[in-house]
Amino acid sequence: MNNVNTSVGNTSVGEEEYTLYGKSTITESLRGLTFQISANSFFQTNTHQAEVLYKLIEDCAGLRGDASEIVLDLFCGTGTIGLTLAKKAKHVYGYEVIAQAVADAHRNAKLNGISNTTFVQGDLNKIDENFGKHFPKPDIVISDPNRPGMHMKLIKFLLKLKAPKIVYVSCNPATCARDIDYLCHGVMEQNIKGCYKLKSIQPVDMFPHTPHIECVCLLELC
């Protein structure tokens, strides 16, 4: 892969990308599904522990399996979490900022014969009051942000949305604790009340012998 960056800064994702040799994607298998991943799309590197992680997410989501529930998959990436839940859901709506990852999610849905998913490119740090009009009210929200955690705009949206259940997946315990505190206790300086209760939190050792972990948190509406 040749990644072209014309700016003076150092970046891992440039303006253009060319495949010089071989395929432009790699293929991984998780939870009985096949995923094709582009160079700039996020995917868990420890696939053995990713099996544990996604099984835990599925257990926390607790989908009934009668195809009646709506799932909102925030920071959906290549669709890994949403597609593993789709078999039990009525529909999964996924949002992701990276266009290439969204294209991968569409391709992975087709590759696995899954038709009850919708993946949309969008910056969840820049949502407005119209964001919730693009999908029905979800029964379950999955949120898997990067290390900075969720933007305050998204936290406010979730507190207003009041989905019955949120499964929060985090790779940064500090921002995880901050966001959960907002969801449970509100944002005092902005007079916003919290409306969730933390039911469980389970760390997953994704990178043994390092300080890095993933945490899966289950929050339920009070």
What's the domain count of the chain? Answer: 1
- 182 in a structural domain: yes
44-86 confidence digits (pLDDT tens) = 677 889 899 999 999 999 999 999 999 999 999 999 999 999 9
- 135 in a structural domain: yes
pLDDT score for 122: 95
Question: What is the mean pLDDT for each group of 10 consecutive residues in the chain (222 residues)?
Answer: 64 60 72 81 75 96 96 95 97 95 94 97 94 96 97 96 98 97 93 96 94 96 96
- 21 in a structural domain: no
pLDDT score for 86: 97
CATH number of the domain encompassing residue 132: 3.40.50.150
Q: Which domain holds residue 187?
A: 44-221
CB 41 within 8 A of CB 24: no
Q: Rounded to an integer, what distance in angstroms lies between the CA atom of residue 62 and that of residue 114?
A: 20
- 97 in a structural domain: yes
The annotated binding site for S-adenosyl-L-methionine is made up of 44, 75, 96, 144
Q: Which of 171, 176, 215, 217 is catalytic?
A: 171
- 3 in a structural domain: no
CB 192 within 8 A of CB 156: yes
The annotated binding site is made up of 44, 75, 96, 144
Is 171 considered catalytic here?
yes
- 177 in a structural domain: yes
**Which secondary-structure segment (H or E) carries 110?**
helix 99-111
pLDDT score for 13: 57
- 105 in a structural domain: yes
Closest CA to 86 of 97, 72, 98, 102: 72
- The dihedrals phi and psi of 90, each to the nearest 5 degrees, come to -75, -45
**Which secondary-structure segment (H or E) carries 31?**
none
- 137 in a structural domain: yes
